[in-house]
Amino acid sequence: MSAPTSAPEGTLAKLGRALGPKYEVRRVVGSGGFAEVYEVWDKDLERRLAVKVLRPDVAWTSGMIERFQRETRAAARLEHPNILPIHFVGEGEGLVYYAMPFVDGMSLGELLKRSGALPAERALAIIIPILEALDHAHKAGLIHRDIKPDNIMLDTARGRPLLVDFGIARRLDSEAGAALTQTGLVIGTPHYMSPEQALGDPNLGPRSDLYSLGCVLFQMVTGSPPFDGESSQQVVGKHIADPPPAASDVNPKVPRAMSDVILRCLAKQPSDRYQSAGEVIAALESDHRPSTVRSRASAAQAATELLVSGARTAPRTAGRPGGPTAKPRRVGWVVLAIALPGLALGAGALFFRQPTLVFENRLTDMVAVQVAGEERRILPGGSFSLKLERGRRLDLSWQLVSRLGVSLGDTIALAQPRGTVRLAATARPTHGAYFAPVITNETGRPLAITVNAGLAGSMRCGCTVPPGAVRMAIGYYRLFENSTVRAEDDAGHSATFRDLGRQVEAFRGVVGLLFRARDMQ
């Protein structure tokens, strides 16, 4: 949510009438893309509430509202100390809303704006209780789909971090049903959106939340999200195609073990991430075990107080308190003599080991791979490995999954594979070369694109590049030394890039093209 704004008098009055005389609507405290939050006083119980109201100026369909209400009621059944509870869900006076406790504190987003990167122990103090909350929700059949710093509140009154906005989550079980996903809200924030969410996968799972949480933890320890850009589209494109940076490379103070955990959370393929939030907790705690045993609740409380106040924990000392440090034993020649035969056997085992196939997708779009009688769909930058039968021929074929451009694919035969065989979907398959123009439109007008204009392989992309688009992908096309890309606006002006053969990135086939108003003739 953004900073407090002035609310329309009509909405304040309508909410007051919808809630009834037992509640006093005081002010609007925040506004976002789909909802506004109001401070409300509960007269009977003498407590402050935060009531989130779907923005009445958004064109909600009946199916979207029904889904919102179902999912909010499902979220209201969650009971966890680090999940902000939902008291009730309501509808009236043309408004749809739900009520939560009013939190005295700030969001993690606000804290990061004030303090920048946090020390590792302070970041862990916040993120581990949030992971526990997430694990609880996933086991109850809910995913969040919009994890970001602004949806993590720091409750200074009770000393705990809180995960909020489960009201826009999606049910994982059959109760929600496929029909709800087809009419649902478009949920997610570009800087924290998983690749599968960015590609519009309707069957998001818990590992999508783990990717978003990895983005949040990266920002907590480095001061900025893993990917940034000049537009939302550019940021989303990086989530889909660009390898994530290592947090320890951005900030050398980040422990390498923590950086590795974040990298695994940011894997492009959901199958390459941790299986659950509980696994992430175990990985983060493996190198940060407390010197004394505390309950999870007390640890969370101390953690939030640590974060908000800016205090630092005392460094832990290794070894027995007050005792001497144990000296390592010397390794004698007898150990080496025992180890050498084992090393020799290991080398022989490597020579005769079962062959393995590793396949990578180096293209900018998803590919469908047919191998060993099954199909696998691999996101850009993703990969998979497969154990092969020694000495047996295997055929692998892959096909680009894209609605624009030409059909691109390849079939590769493996005669007698040995060791590790690495294959990749690239823009240079065995039967030709292809390229993927990515268009930035600064002309102020929509553009129609023709690839290889004036050549035998001329082809219109069948799409319109809107004004302001940044690095918009339009599919793959045949690549020649003198390949061209021509843009035309609705006023009949055009501009053409020529002789692109040597400018295209070899494996991915990408070439960035900028069209400006002054170039159009």
User: Rounded to whole angstroms, how far apart are CA atoms 344 and 457?
Assistant: 57
Ramachandran area for residue 353 (φ above 0: left; ψ -120 to 50: alpha; else beta): beta
User: Rounded to whole angstroms, how far apart are CA atoms 174 and 141?
Assistant: 10
Distance in Å from the first CA to the final CA of the chain = 44
Radius of gyration of the chain (CA): 27
Q: What are residue 168's phi and psi, to 5 degrees?
A: -110, 15
- Token pair, residue 400, equals 């680009």
CB hemisphere CA count around 162 (13 angstroms)? 25
Angle at CA of residue 91, ends 88 and 94, nearest 5°: 150
User: Rounded to whole angstroms, how far apart are CA atoms 160 and 303?
Assistant: 7
Angle between helices 206-222 and 256-265 (to 10 degrees): 140
CA-to-CA separations, 200 to 10, 193, 204, 248, 453, in angstroms, rounded: 36, 11, 9, 31, 32
Please tell me what DSSP assigns to residue 180. Answer: H
How many helices, marked H, and strands, marked E, lie in the chain? 13, 25
Which residue's entry shows tokens 């590049």? 465
User: Rounded to whole angstroms, how far apart are CA atoms 125 and 505?
Assistant: 43
Residues paired with residue 132 on neighbouring β-strands, in sequence order: none
* Residue of 44, 104, 146, 165 with catalytic role: 146
User: Rounded to whole angstroms, how far apart are CA atoms 164 and 186?
Assistant: 18
Residue partners of 137: CB distance under 8 A and separation at least 6: 75, 78, 80, 83, 143, 144, 163, 166, 169
Q: What are residue 227's phi and psi, to 5 degrees?
A: -130, 140
Residue 146: active-site member: yes
Pairing outcome for strands 160-163 and 95-101: unpaired
With CA atoms as reference, report the closest residue to 444 among 521, 497, 511, 518: 518
User: Rounded to whole angstroms, how far apart are CA atoms 492 and 520?
Assistant: 9
Which residue's entry shows tokens 């070894």? 319
Q: Which residues have a catalytic role annotated?
A: 146
